[in-house]
Structure 1
Amino acid sequence: MIRSSLLVVLVVAVAGCGSGQAKGDLLQRVKAAGVIRVAQTQANPPWNFLENGKPAGYDVDVANELAKRLGVAKVEFVPSNFQSFIAGVQAGRFDAVISGQTITDERKEQVDFSRPYEVNGISIFVAGADTSINGVADLKGKKLAVTAGTTQAAFAKKSIPDADIKTYDNATLGLTEVGRGRADAALVSRFQGAFLAQKNSLAVKPAGPLLESEVNGISFAKGSTAFKQAVDQALGDMISDGTLSAISKKWLGGLDMAEQLKGV
């Protein structure tokens, strides 16, 4: 009887250990694999996009630098979208999302986040000749373009219920609709909208003040304690040694993201 009870205890203990090892910690797994799979929309400039067929932008440079500091040799960039990021992390289709994902209480219930690595803000973009829209109140009954699955889309549904909200796969499509007169306005990040307007010669402009500020983090599977600690340390070092400032100035029109993150 004693031997039987002891055997049960040992089986339970081994099963518990096996479960933990099966899950493992993300940091250990990516180091062993020598590659970290990073999800991005690849259609969200200047944060992340394809340039001559290769991933480029602020988020891409952050991901590459982060991998180097984690001791991981390669970054595999996986195309995805805001609607699929959380499910993809949970299913293990990629290891982390580095794609301007806003830290929200709802998302924190489903995935873990790093410390903030960028801040952003929602702007209204209108056609270049439009002077009638300068704030949320002016959007009542208007055709409003947003990117599906983003916090801009959530803001529009919550704060502008009387608008005719149209969703698109990326911000370029939404801004193009505004420029062509098929939508009255678009909700886009201030930096992204300005970048896209210049790059694609779109006749759009920001209107009014920022509607809402966003704090963005890197997301990954819940319970990845060692990974989070290593990522937070690496990001902190990138901020203190000037690396994040250099990356942001390269892609964000001279903006120093390290300065923007102070006090966040």
Structure 2
Amino acid sequence: MKKFFMLMFCVVMAFALAGCGGSNEKNASQAPECKVLKVATDANFPPFEFYQEQSKVHTGFDIALVKAVAKQMGYEKVEFVNVDFKNILTGLQDKKYDMAVAALSITPERERLVDFSEAYAEDGYKVIVSKNSKLGDDFSALAGKTVVAEEGSYAEELLKSKAKDVKVVPVRDTEAGIKLVAAGKADALVASKIVASFFITHNYSAKVKFAGETILDKDKYGIAVAHGNQEMVKKVNEALKEVKRSGEYKNIYSSYFGN
């Protein structure tokens, strides 16, 4: 009986090793059995990243792109960790994650904390107001108003640096800001045009709208890694280049944003 259990243990271990792609002596003597990439994200920023409760999986443009990049880098598995947006960069600094993807704007302030890949997407920031509001769509129109923005986001940075006499109220995410505006608890929200469009189109078209056509500012998104890890940055950039060259990037982009 003892021999039987020992034999079964060996069989299970053999299958486990084979599943990770390393069953011979040479592979067995090398580092991890499975090459896993640990990625921080904030999964409430559709269509870039969100969590599907029914299937219990992370999805979105950023998620699909990182999976493609990870495959090019030789990783067999990607583990996504959901983190409050405001804590993502400190988590990278503390080396809790290998990288982060959360529609992270590449800014000089952030580049002092972490390193970024080459930009993989662009976005713009707009003013969102209640359906019946006549508030203007630029910084001057926000003077004397209560304006919400996602905590730690580039939108919050914009308001604090460029808007005068504005009460800036940080919120958990874009949807939380939309709800406050819809309920009349805030005069406006400044947020990503792409993300706000998603929420307005799917759930809030009867309650909120864009104040106008003005783009307050544009920015570019990058994949973030720990500061000083230039080797990782190089590998990510090479993988991104290949994903774009192969046409996979275009397919992923079309799936979430159209042509």
Above 0.5 in TM-score?
Answer: yes
SS in 2 for 1:230: helix
Q: Which runs of structure 2 are paired with 1:1-264 in the superposition (5 Å)?
A: 34-52=35-53, 53-202=56-205, 203-206=207-210, 207-252=212-257, 254-255=258-259
Query: Letter of the aligned partner of 1:58 in structure 2?
Result: F
What's the RMSD between the two structures over aligned residues?
1.9
Q: Distance in 1 between matches of 2:88 and 2:219?
A: 17
For the 8 Å contact 1:31–1:71, the answer to whether it is kept is no
Give the 3-state SS of the residue equivalent to 1:101 in structure 2.
coil
The answer on whether the counterparts of 2:42 and 2:82 sit within 8 Å (CA) in structure 1 is yes
Task: Look up the match of 2:19.
Answer: none
Q: Distance in 2 between matches of 1:109 and 1:79?
A: 23
Q: 1:199 to 1:31 in 2, by over 3 A?
A: farther
Equivalent in the alignment of 1:6: none
Do 2:46 and 2:198's aligned partners in 1 also have CA atoms closer than 8 Å?
Answer: yes
**Structure 2 CA distance for aligned equivalents of residues 49 and 108 of structure 1:** 25
Does the 8 Å CA contact 1:36/1:95 hold for their aligned counterparts?
Answer: yes
User: Is the contact made by 2:70 and 2:78 (CA closer than 8 Å) also made in structure 1?
Assistant: yes
How has the CA–CA distance of structure 1 residues 205 and 225 changed in structure 2, closer, same or farther, with 3 Å as cutoff?
same
Q: 1:144-184 deviations in whole A, cap 9, x for unaligned?
A: 11000001001111111311211111100001111222111
Q: Is 184-193 or 238-247 further displaced after alignment?
A: 238-247
Distance 1:223 1:158, change over 3 A: closer
Aligned positions, number: 226
Mapped partners of 1:89, 1:132: distance in 2: 39
Letter in 2 for 1:229: K
Q: Which amino acid aligns with 1:208?
A: E
Gaps of 5+ in 1: 1-29, 256-264
Q: Which amino acid aligns with 1:92?
A: K
Q: Partner letter of residue 71 of structure 2? A: K
Give the C-alpha shift of residue 31 in structure 1. 7.5
Deviation string, structure 1 residues 53-101 (Cα, Å, up to 9, x no partner): 3211111101111111111011111111332122111111111011111
Partners of 1:135 and 1:208 within 8 A in 2: no
Cα distance in 1 for partners of 2:85, 2:51 equals 17
Code of the residue aligned with 2:39 in structure 1: it is: V
